[in-house]
């Protein structure tokens, strides 16, 4: 007691308070430790643990000092307490400063913890999304693979099933790939025979190739480019090409892709229409001219024959008269050809004709003259051909003209081939007359049916034979086509260089002989 006041309650309160401070701080540290065990990566729980540890240190240093002082003073060890007091106070101050510093950084730790928590949530969402993606990745890959496969199948069907020629070239113009239609169109059997060849090798005109390649290289595409190609067998193809250049990221041309449409048949039909129009115009002119010339020729021929009768015994006069008569008859024959050419429909009575019989009758007349020049006839005549509706004499005239042309094309030593066949699909009968002559030059073949056009020497032809034949067959509802060289394998194997195809509509079952 000091100054009459008892210190026991103060000591007891100080002792109990110090003890409770230690107990409560330890309890707080235990809870903080449990939180760190639950979430080891949580910065806030780690911070709280170290703060509670500092509080425990403060509580122990302060409370232990008070309790130790109380016990030592009760025991009368005042000197011992004076020795320990500085250490207890220093430890107490150090612990207090630690708690103060840790408390000062609480807000920063809280912000760090929030940032970490948000990142953790974002990572959790990303992980969930990635996990979901991983679960559906195989399905997505399979779905994408199916889409690519369907796309590839569409392109493959278009590429392989197209009836037009589709091809790819590299930067130098060599063919890198070509579809089956292109292989067939160019007359080959396998694409390997074409791949690697330079595209210019198929162009019939080098100037056309230069224009095609330069336009593609400079503009990047070309459209509706008409060009003439050469098939493997030498035949000509008329194509319309649309092409696009393939460029890299630096716009350097790496190759091209192109589609070519076959216009050969269209061009042939167009040429035939032009030919028909030309023949119609020339036919009208020829009819008028023939009638005008025929009358004076008849008078000349009549008076010449009268003079021959009057001077029957004078050979000096008869010789010139015979020459006049001969040349007049030649002129009348030409006029007769002009008249036949001018008539667009057949004359005489139409009947059902057996083509093979007509051919045999014509050959019985002309075959001897062919054999005299060592030209032999190869017959491949189909059996059971249906009849055609035609005029017997005019059909014979066409056949004689065609065989005679083949004879003139060969001159000496060769083969004239004659084939007949029936096309059940088009219901047309075809007569093919080929020869092993020199062939028809490409620049001439388009004009052979023109009236008065001939490649024969002077006095060897009027240029009306094919024109007249064309008109006769057209009058029967048919057509004449020419190929030089032929395209059919059977004609090429037989050595034919030129082939005329006479195509006639057939008559349903019925009789009739030539």
Report how far residue 436's alpha carbon sits from residue 485's, in angstroms, rounded to the nearest whole number: 10
Buried b (16+ CB within 10 A) or exposed e, 249-267: eeeebeebebbbbbbbeeb
Q: Which of 464, 432, 467 shows the shortest CA–CA distance to 359?
A: 432
**CB 301 within 8 Å of CB 329:** yes
Which residue has better confidence, 250 or 292? 250
Output the domain CATH number for residue 238: 3.30.450.20
pLDDT value at residue 502: 92
In degrees, rounded to 5, the angle at the alpha carbon of residue 507 between the alpha carbons of residues 505 and 511 is 140
What 3-state class would DSSP assign to 474?
A: helix
Taken in order 183, 421, 474, 470, the sign of the CA dihedral is positive
Report how far residue 320's alpha carbon sits from residue 322's, in angstroms, rounded to the nearest whole number: 5
**CB 495 within 8 Å of CB 415:** yes
Q: Which of 143, 191, 190, 199 shows the shortest CA–CA distance to 170?
A: 199
Candidate from 69-78, 153-162, 179-188, 497-506 with smallest mean pLDDT: 69-78
Which residue has better confidence, 458 or 73? 73
**CB 62 within 8 Å of CB 46:** no
Average pLDDT, the chain: 78
- Looking at the domain assignment, is residue 309 inside a domain? yes
Domain closes at, from 295, 316, 342: 342
Which residue has better confidence, 423 or 66? 423
Whether the full predicted model's pTM is greater than 0.85, yes or no, is no
Average pLDDT over residues 106-133: 75
H, E, C per residue of 38-66: HCCCCHHHHHHHHHHHHHHHHHHHHHHHH
**CB 376 within 8 Å of CB 416:** yes
Residue 402 makes CB contacts below 8 A (sequence gap 6+) with 433, 469, 500, 502
Candidate from 27-41, 158-172, 281-295, 302-316 with smallest mean pLDDT: 281-295
DSSP string, 77-132: -HHHHHHHHHHHHHHHHHHHHHHHHHHHTHHHHHHHHHHHHHHHHHHHHHHHHHHH
- Looking at the domain assignment, is residue 435 inside a domain? yes
Tell whether 81 and 218 lie within a shared domain: no
Tell whether 252 and 271 lie within a shared domain: no
Candidate from 14-18, 199-203, 423-427, 460-464 with smallest mean pLDDT: 460-464
Tell whether 309 and 242 lie within a shared domain: no
pLDDT value at residue 147: 81
Q: What is the DSSP letter of 193?
A: G
pLDDT value at residue 69: 62
pLDDT of 21 above 90: no
pLDDT of 320 above 90: no
Report how far residue 242's alpha carbon sits from residue 282's, in angstroms, rounded to the nearest whole number: 39
Which residue has better confidence, 214 or 327? 214
Q: Which of 510, 488, 508 shows the shortest CA–CA distance to 498?
A: 488
Tell whether 498 and 361 lie within a shared domain: yes
pLDDT value at residue 14: 66
Tell whether 380 and 470 lie within a shared domain: yes
Q: How confident is the model at residue 510 (pLDDT cuts 50, 70, 90)?
A: very low
Residue found under tokens 């708690």: 99
Give the rounded percent of residues in the chain with a pLDDT score beyond 90: 6
Tell whether 219 and 307 lie within a shared domain: no
Tell whether 359 and 324 lie within a shared domain: no
Number of H helices, E strands in the chain: 13, 12
pLDDT value at residue 433: 93
**CB 212 within 8 Å of CB 200:** no
Residue found under tokens 């019925």: 510
pLDDT value at residue 419: 93
- Looking at the domain assignment, is residue 510 inside a domain? no
Report how far residue 362's alpha carbon sits from residue 356's, in angstroms, rounded to the nearest whole number: 10
Q: Which of 411, 393, 281, 284 shows the shortest CA–CA distance to 346?
A: 393
Helix extents (H) in 419-488: 442-445, 465-475
pLDDT value at residue 2: 45
- Looking at the domain assignment, is residue 66 inside a domain? yes
Q: How confident is the model at residue 432 (pLDDT cuts 50, 70, 90)?
A: very high
Q: Which of 373, 488, 383 shows the shortest CA–CA distance to 434?
A: 488
Tell whether 333 and 368 lie within a shared domain: no
Prior bond to 164 cis, omega within 30?
A: no
pLDDT tens digits along 368-406: 888 888 989 999 999 888 998 888 888 888 888 889 888
What is the tally of structural domains in the chain? 4
**CB 166 within 8 Å of CB 258:** yes
Domain assignment of residue 50, given as a range: 8-104
- Looking at the domain assignment, is residue 501 inside a domain? yes
Candidate from 26-35, 153-162, 303-312 with smallest mean pLDDT: 153-162
Query: Per mean pLDDT, which of 14-23, 63-72, 249-258, 458-467 is the most reliable?
Result: 249-258
**CB 498 within 8 Å of CB 435:** yes
Q: Which of 181, 159, 178 shows the shortest CA–CA distance to 167?
A: 178
Q: Which of 481, 493, 491 shows the shortest CA–CA distance to 417?
A: 491
Tell whether 305 and 383 lie within a shared domain: no
Domain closes at, from 294, 317, 342: 342
pLDDT of 55 above 50: yes
Helix H or strand E encompassing 367: helix 355-372
Distance of CA 498 to the CA centre of its chain: 34
Residue 397 makes CB contacts below 8 A (sequence gap 6+) with 468, 469, 472
Query: Per mean pLDDT, which of 26-40, 91-105, 284-298 is the most reliable?
Result: 26-40
Residues in the chain: 514
Tell whether 181 and 67 lie within a shared domain: no
What 3-state class would DSSP assign to 422?
A: strand
Q: Which two tokens stand for residue 307?
A: 């003079």
Residue 76 makes CB contacts below 8 A (sequence gap 6+) with none
Tell whether 275 and 251 lie within a shared domain: no
**CB 340 within 8 Å of CB 287:** no
Tell whether 361 and 299 lie within a shared domain: no
- Looking at the domain assignment, is residue 54 inside a domain? yes
Report how far residue 504's alpha carbon sits from residue 431's, in angstroms, rounded to the nearest whole number: 8
- Looking at the domain assignment, is residue 150 inside a domain? no
Q: How confident is the model at residue 429 (pLDDT cuts 50, 70, 90)?
A: very high
Q: Which of 216, 270, 213, 207 shows the shortest CA–CA distance to 238?
A: 270
- Looking at the domain assignment, is residue 153 inside a domain? no
Q: Which residues pair with 350 in a beta bridge?
A: 391
Q: Which residues pair with 380 in a beta bridge?
A: 419
pLDDT value at residue 133: 73
Domain closes at, from 71, 104, 137: 104
Average pLDDT over residues 47-57: 75
Output the domain CATH number for residue 373: 3.30.565.10
């Amino acid at each position: 007691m000091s100054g009459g006041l008892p210190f026991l309650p103060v000591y007891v309160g100080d002792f109990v308070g110090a003890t409770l401070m230690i107990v409560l701080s330890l309890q707080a540290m235990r809870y903080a430790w449990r939180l760190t065990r639950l979430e080891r990566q949580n910065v806030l729980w780690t911070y709280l643990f170290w703060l509670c540890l500092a509080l425990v240190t403060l509580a122990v240093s302060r409370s232990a000092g008070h309790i130790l002082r109380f016990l030592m003073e009760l025991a009368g060890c005042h000197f011992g307490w004076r020795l320990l007091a500085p250490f207890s106070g220093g430890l107490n101050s150090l612990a207090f400063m630690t708690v103060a510093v840790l408390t000062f950084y609480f807000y920063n730790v809280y912000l760090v913890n929030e940032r970490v928590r948000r990142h953790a949530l974002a990572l959790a969402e990303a992980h969930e999304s990635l996990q979901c993606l991983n679960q559906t990745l195989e399905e997505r890959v399979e779905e994408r693979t199916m889409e690519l496969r369907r796309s590839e199948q569409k392109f493959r069907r278009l590429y392989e099933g197209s009836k037009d020629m589709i091809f790819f070239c590299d930067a130098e113009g060599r063919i890198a790939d070509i579809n089956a239609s292109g292989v067939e169109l160019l007359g080959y059997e396998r694409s390997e025979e074409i791949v690697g060849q330079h595209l210019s090798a198929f162009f019939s005109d080098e100037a056309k190739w230069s224009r095609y390649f330069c336009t593609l290289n400079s503009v990047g595409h070309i459209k509706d480019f008409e060009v003439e190609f050469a098939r493997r067998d030498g035949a000509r193809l008329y194509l319309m090409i649309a092409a696009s250049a393939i460029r890299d990221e630096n716009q350097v041309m790496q190759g091209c892709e192109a589609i070519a449409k076959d216009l050969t048949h269209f061009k042939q039909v167009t040429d035939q229409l032009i030919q028909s129009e030309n023949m119609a115009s020339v036919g009208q002119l020829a009819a008028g001219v023939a009638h005008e010339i025929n009358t004076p020729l008849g008078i000349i021929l009549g008076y010449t024959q009268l003079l021959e009768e009057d001077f029957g015994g004078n050979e000096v006069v008869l010789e010139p008269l015979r020459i006049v008569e001969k040349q007049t008859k030649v002129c009348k024959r030409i006029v007769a050809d002009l008249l036949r050419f001018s008539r667009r429909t057949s004359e005489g009575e139409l009947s059902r004709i057996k083509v093979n019989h007509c051919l045999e009758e014509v050959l019985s007349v002309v075959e001897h003259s062919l054999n005299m020049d060592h030209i032999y006839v190869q017959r491949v005549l189909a059996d059971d051909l249906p009849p055609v509706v035609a005029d017997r004499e005019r059909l014979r005239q066409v056949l004689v003209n065609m065989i005679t042309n083949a004879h003139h094309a060969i001159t000496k030593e060769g083969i004239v081939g004659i084939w007949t066949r029936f096309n059940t699909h088009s219901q047309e009968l075809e007569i093919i007359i080929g020869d092993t002559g020199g062939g028809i030059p490409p620049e001439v073949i388009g004009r052979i049916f023109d009236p008065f056009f001939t490649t024969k020497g002077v006095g060897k032809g009027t240029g009306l034979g094919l024109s007249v034949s064309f008109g006769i067959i057209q009058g029967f509802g048919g057509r004449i086509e020419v190929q030089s060289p032929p395209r059919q394998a059977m004609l090429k194997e037989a050595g034919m260089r030129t082939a005329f195809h006479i195509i006639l509509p057939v008559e349903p079952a019925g009789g009739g002989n030539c």
